[in-house]
Amino acid sequence: MNDTTASKTESLLAEVDQYSAHNYHPLPVVIERGEGVWVWDVDGNRYMDMLSAYSALNQGHRHPAILAAAHAQLEKLTLTSRAFHNDQMGPFLRELCQATGFECALPMNTGMEAVETAIKMVRKWGYKVKGVPADQAEIIACENNFHGRTTTIVGFSSEEQYRDGFGPFTPGFKLIPYGDAEALAAAINENTVGFLFEPLQGEGGVVVPPDGFITKARELCTQHRVALMADEIQTGLGRTGRLFCCDWEAVRPDVLIIGKALGGGVYPVSATMADAEFMNVFTPGDHGSTFGGNPLAAAIGRAALRVILDEGLSERTDQLGTWFINELRAINSPHVQEVRGKGLMIGVVIKESSGIARPFCEALQARGILAKETHHQVIRFAPPLIITQEELEFALEQTRKVLSV
C-alpha cells in the first residue's frame, strides 16, 4: 500500500470519526465495491465477506436477479405510501405467505420495526381475543436476547450496555434463561400473551438452544394459549440450513418475524407473518409505515425470496455449513474453547485466557477475511449463502493459520 492510498483510507476513517456518532466499532476497512462473496476496499485490496451484513446478504453482494428487479422497478414507481395501493405489494405478500405457510403478512422496513409490529399485534390479540385485562398483558423473552434497538426492545434486554441511559422502559416483559423450558413453563401465567425468542441467538454469541427446546416451547404455548413469536430476522431465509431455523424441529410459530435477507442486501425489507386470528386485530389507523410495502421494496423482496428458493440456498447451506463447522472443530488451536452454530451461522468461541476475539478478527482481516467479533469472545462467521466449497476452503485455510499461532 503506497502513501497515497494509505492517506485515502485514513482520510475516510477520520471523516467518519469526526462526523458520526461513535456507536459502532467497525474494523478499519473502507469498502467501495462488492460482488458475490467478495468486497474491495478503497485501496484495491480484496476481502472475503464472512459476515454478510449480519445475514442481510444471504444472496451475496449485488445478486444480478435482485439488481435487475430493483432497476426495473426504479424505472416505474418507487413509493406511494399506504394511502394508495401499488401493483407490487399484493404479489409480494402472496408469495411470502405461500413460501412460509402463513395467512397474512404485514410489511415493514427494518427488523426492529417488524419486532415492534409483532409486540403490538400480540398484545392487542391478548386483549381482544384471549381476554387479558386491560394493560396487564405480559410477553416472555429470553436472557441474552437481541431483537433490535428501540426503547421498548432494549428495555427487555439483559445486556446492561443496551439499556444504560435509555430508561424509563416499557413494562410488561419477563425474562427467562435461554433454552430453559422449565423456566418458560414457570413464567407463564393467565396474563401471558406471547413468548418472543430467537431459535438461535446470533448477536448473543451464536448460542444454540438445547435440542427439543423449540418443540417444548411450542407445546407450552399451545397448552396455555400463548403466541409463539419466532424472531428469524438473522436465522431465517436459509441461514441455518433450513428456510427457517424453527424448521429444524418442524415447529410452526404463531408469529414469524423476518427481515435482513428479505431485502437481498439492496434495500431494507421486513415483515411480520401470522394467521388471520392475530393479524385481524389491526384496523385502519392502528399501525403503519410510510415506506412499509412500498413498490420498490416489494419488487426487491420478491426477487430476494425467489433467489433463496430457486437456487436451493437452504439445502446447500446445510451441506457446506456442516462441512465448515466440522473442519473448524478439527483445528488444533490453543485459543478455541468451542465451535457452535447451524448451517452458515457459526461462532468460534475464544478462551478468555487467550484474550478477546477482536485481535483474531483483525488478524483475519490482514489475511483477506472479514469477520466480526460479538460478545467479546466470539468470532462470528456468516458468509453469503452462495459461497462455494472452494471459497470456504480459502476461508478455512486463513482461519487455521490465525487460530494456530
pLDDT in tens, 308-328: 999 999 999 999 999 999 999
pLDDT value for 2 = 44
- C-alpha distance across the termini of the chain, in Å: 25
| Active-site annotation holds for 128 | no
- 264-295 pLDDT tens trace: 999 999 999 999 999 999 999 999 999 999 99
Instruction: State the pLDDT confidence band at 7, using cuts at 50, 70 and 90.
Output: confident
| Active-site annotation holds for 360 | no
- 341 — phi, psi (to 5°)? 145, -175
Q: Cβ neighbours of residue 318 under 8 Å, at least 6 residues apart?
A: 241, 242, 343
Q: What is the mean pLDDT of residues 195-217?
A: 98
pLDDT value for 63 = 98
pLDDT value for 6 = 56
- 173 — phi, psi (to 5°)? -125, 150
DSSP, res 201: B
pLDDT value for 204 = 95
Of 9-13, 179-183, 244-248, 295-299, the range with the lowest mean pLDDT is 9-13
The single residue listed with the C-alpha cell 402472496 is 94
- 345-397 pLDDT tens trace: 999 999 999 999 999 999 999 999 999 999 999 999 999 999 999 999 999 99
- 12-57 pLDDT tens trace: 999 999 999 999 999 999 999 999 999 999 999 999 999 999 999 9
- Sign of dihedral through CA atoms 243, 215, 382, 23? positive
Question: Which domains does the chain possess?
Answer: 3-59+313-403 (3.90.1150.10), 64-310 (3.40.640.10)
Q: Which of 124, 216, 260, 372 is catalytic?
A: 260
pLDDT value for 405 = 85
List 31's β-bridge partners, or say none: 41
Q: Let me know: does 145 contact 158? Beta carbons within 8 Å.
A: yes
Q: Which of 41, 49, 231, 318 is catalytic?
A: 231
The single residue listed with the C-alpha cell 418472543 is 196
Using DSSP, state whether 274 is helix, strand or coil: strand
| Active-site annotation holds for 318 | no
Q: What is the mean pLDDT of residues 50-69?
A: 98
Instruction: State the pLDDT confidence band at 257, using cuts at 50, 70 and 90.
Output: very high
Continuous segment of H or E residues that includes residue 35:
strand 31-35
Instruction: State the pLDDT confidence band at 113, using cuts at 50, 70 and 90.
Output: very high
